[in-house]
Amino acid sequence: MIRDVTESDFHALLRLNLESEHFLSPMNRARLEFLQRQAAYCRVVWRDAEVAAFLLAFREGVDYDSPNYLWFSRRYSSFLYIDRVVVDLRHHGKKLGSALYNDLFDFARASGVASVACEFDVIPPNAASSLFHARFGFHEVGVQWIANGKKKVSLQEAPCIAIAT
């Protein structure tokens, strides 16, 4: 079941974020509360009586300081930016990420958004993320170095038309 995040989910979201922090920016409770207030989309997959995955995304024009979000803000007048998607390691391979992306694309289309934006690491490489995003029609529209030159990201965009399985 996919549903909106509630405050009772915060502990699980922070645990999942920490589990995947090598791909994500750090997040404490105060940061999560701030991000949830700014988010256009903040939903979880509820499976086996627990949060098994979550996705956080922002529309243009919000008060968010991510260098990747800001990159898209300078170039796109309308977009939905995927800030982070995390699937519990115990639930990998169950297509929960795909379920969240399909739900997000439905949300984007219903909101009149023409494209969805995201990024993933290319240095160090994240091949699994590259393959996953290609299935949803994402293509590279730019690159940038972040984290004080420690990571290079591929900035990606996808039209709100394709649905992958």
pLDDT digits (tens, 9 = 90+) for 46-102: 998 899 999 999 999 999 999 999 999 999 999 999 999 999 999 999 999 999 999
Domains and CATH numbers, the chain: 2-114 (3.40.630.30)
Torsion angles phi and psi, residue 98, rounded to 5: -60, -40
Q: How many CA atoms lie within 13 A of 71 on its CB side?
A: 20
User: How many whole angstroms separate alpha carbon 70 and alpha carbon 31?
Assistant: 17
**What is the rounded CA–CA span in Å between residue 159 and residue 149?**
30
CB 117 within 8 A of CB 72: yes
> For the whole prediction, is pTM greater than 0.85?
yes
Q: Percent of the chain beyond pLDDT 90? A: 83
Binned at pLDDT 50, 70 and 90, residue 165 comes out as: low
What is the Cβ-side half-sphere exposure of residue 134, based on CA atoms within 13 angstroms? Answer: 6
User: Quick check: 20 pLDDT over 90?
Assistant: no
User: Which pLDDT value is given to residue 164?
Assistant: 54
DSSP 8-state symbol, 7: G
Contact partners, residue 148, CB within 8 Å, separation at least 6: none
d(C-alpha 128, C-alpha 103), whole Å: 20
